[in-house]
Amino acid sequence: MKKIKNIYLIGIGGSGMSGIAEILLNSGYKVSGSDNASSLVTSRLQNLGIKVFDNHDSENLKKIDLIVYSSAISEDNPEMIHGKKMGIPIIRRAEMLANLMTLKNSIAIAGSHGKTTTTCILAHIFTKCNLDPTYIIGGKIKSFESNAALGKGPHILAEADESDGSFLLLRPNNLIITSIDNDHLETYDGDFKKLKEAFKEFAMNVPFQGKIVCYGDNKELEKLIQKVPRNFISYGFKKTNDFQITDLAQSLEGCKFSLINNLDNSNFKFFVPLHGEHNVLNVVASIIMSIEEGIKMKDISEALLTCKTVERRFEVISNNIFNKGITLVDDYGHHPKEISITLETVDKIWKNNKKIVIFQPHRYTRTKALFEEFVEILSKIDDLILLDVYPASEKILKGYESKDLYKAANKRNNIIKAEGVEDALEKLKKLVSDHSLILTQGAGNTSALAKLISEYQ
Q: Point out the residues that are catalytic.
A: 115-116, 159
What is the C-alpha end-to-end distance of the chain, expressed in Å? 61
Distance, CA of 352 to chain centre: 30
How many Cα atoms within 13 Å fall on the side-chain side of residue 335?
13
Rounded distance, CA 337 to CA 370, Å? 10
Q: Nearest CA to 16 among 125, 108, 126, 143?
A: 108
Phi first, then psi, for residue 105 (nearest 5°) are -70, 105
Residues 423, 428, 431: CA angle, nearest 5 degrees: 140
Distance, CA of 342 to chain centre: 14
Rounded distance, CA 375 to CA 403, Å? 12
Strands (E), 75-226: 90-92, 105-110, 134-136, 148-149, 155-159, 174-177, 211-215
Rounded distance, CA 95 to CA 155, Å? 19
Q: Which contiguous run of DSSP H or E holds residue 292?
A: helix 277-292
